[in-house]
Amino acid sequence: MGLWGSATTYDAATNKPKFLHEDENSDFNKGDSYATQKGWVMQAGTPASGNDNTSADPEVLVAIGNLAGSTTTTGLRAPTVTDMRYIIGTTANTDLTALQGTAEIQVEITWDEEVTVVTDGGTPTLIIANGNESGAAEGHYTLEYVVANDTPNRKRFKGTSKSLSVGDVLTIGTNDIVLNTGTISDTVLGGTALAASTVLSGLTAVTHTVLH
């Protein structure tokens, strides 16, 4: 959803309701808001939506007209990536600290619309670049899409049994998502009629330095 309708040139990501926060711990987290043909909505089941029913209709925060459309040039247009982050756990193998052979790397990618991932033909992957500052030559890390913790507009990629060395800087955004014959598409339209953007390289890179 690169643009809002035909009469404006405002980028969808910058048009998200301004009262939302860039904070994963907030009840009003900007990442849980996405665009539909009704306007900006809040993911169902979140505190900000007013109920805990994840199957409910999403709460409309800002109603906007003229968003119906089913091509790359009309209505919502193609979903675009707006954010990416590391998921840092609390256990030795998930907290992204130095570990040999059993470390887990997990990242989350956020789109500005609902997207559907289909893995019948293959599983989308994402490569996390490793700057090799440690000199250990661990190499880059290939993560695969995983269904766990899916939300309408946020999808996760995970790699297991990895080795992390102290000082290495890991970067999301050097590489784009590779579909690997799978698909990531606009959920509103259904099927694979309108592919979602898989480009991450245009966003500000997100880095993580491996510590002890």
What would the pLDDT profile of 186-206 be if each residue is shown by its tens digit?
998 788 889 999 999 999 999
Looking at residue 126, its pLDDT comes to 98
Residue 6: domain span: 1-77
Residues 162 and 103 in one domain: yes
Looking at residue 12, its pLDDT comes to 52
Residues 149 and 169 in one domain: yes
Give the residue from 74, 1, 88 showing the smallest Cα distance to 41: 1
Scan for tokens 């405002």, then name that residue: 10
What would the pLDDT profile of 71-102 be if each residue is shown by its tens digit?
777 778 889 999 999 999 999 999 999 999 99
Residues 87 and 73 in one domain: no
Q: How confident is the model at residue 18 (pLDDT cuts 50, 70, 90)?
A: confident
Give the residue from 46, 40, 198, 164 showing the smallest Cα distance to 113: 40
A 10 A CB-CB count for 69 gives: 17
Structural domains counted in the chain: 2
